[in-house]
Amino acid sequence: MTIEEIENEIVEEFEMFDDWMQKYEYLIDLGKSLPIIDEQYKTDNTLIKGCQSRVWMHSELKAGNVIYTADSDAIITKGMVALMIRVLSNHTPDEIMNAKLNFVEKIGLTQHLSPTRSNGLLSMIKQMKLDALAYKQIS
């Protein structure tokens, strides 16, 4: 699937929720269910410093696609991180760099991307794109 198709899929999933509680319960479940990073990569080097919740992110290039793994100490952030990985991971550097990520607005979670949320998610997206750029330049 393309990045846009995955985004649309997520938007459809979120359309089923009636209220904020179901939405957040879903995010919390996503956050709980995902062992998303290998412990060896959970270091200060991979730590994206947000003001409040900490996010660790690791990436590698496999067969021309960037694979991301990540973790956070806050469960809601972790749920958001899981969504970002589902959308961006396993795509080419070009696709990742061009991704608009409009789905965040469509599912009503833009507040998590405003700089004041300080939850490290915005920094994480920036880092994901920077990593993609770096892989593009290497190859």
Partner 1 sequence: MIESKNITEVQLDIEKIRADFPILSRKVNGKPLIYFDNGATAQKPKSVIDAIGNYYSNQNANIHRGVHTLSQEITVAYENARSTIQKHLNAEHAHEIIFTKGTTDSINLVASSFGKKFIFQGDEILVSAMEHHSNILPWQQVCEERGAILKVIPINKEGELIISEYKRLLTDKTKIVALTHISNTLGTINPIEELIALAHVKNIPVLVDGAQAVPHTNVNVQLISADFYVFSGHKLFGPTGVGVLYGKEKWLTEIPPYQVGGGTIKTVTFEKTEYADLPLKFEAGTPHIEGGIGLAAAIDYVNKIGLNNIAAYENELLVYATEALGKINGVKIIGTAKEKASVISFIVDGLHPFDIGTILDQLGIAVRTGHHCTQPLMQFYGIQGTVRASFAFYNTKEEIDLFINGLERAIKMLN
CB of 18 to partner 1, least distance (A): 13
Q: Which is nearer to partner 1, 50 or 93 (CB)?
A: 50
CB of 89 to partner 1, least distance (A): 24
φ and ψ at residue 132, rounded to 5 degrees: -60, -40
Site membership for partner 1, residue 28 (CB under 8 A): yes
Q: Kindly list the distances between the CA atom of residue 59 and the CA atoms of 17, 97, 104, in Å, as whole numbers in the listed order.
A: 32, 14, 22
Site membership for partner 1, residue 122 (CB under 8 A): no
Nearest to 10 by CA among 82, 71, 99: 82
- Give Rg (Cα) of the chain: 14
Options 11, 34, 47, 75; binder of partner 1; rule CB under 8 A: 75
Site membership for partner 1, residue 36 (CB under 8 A): no
Q: Which of 51, 110, 126, 130 is catalytic?
A: 51
In the residue annotation, 113 being an active-site residue is answered as: no
Residue 26 CB neighbour total at 10 angstroms? 17
Residue 66 CB neighbour total at 10 angstroms? 24
DSSP class of 119: S
Give contact residues for partner 1 (rule: CB under 8 A).
Answer: 20-21, 24-25, 28, 51-54, 73-77, 118-119
Query: Residues with catalytic annotation?
Result: 51
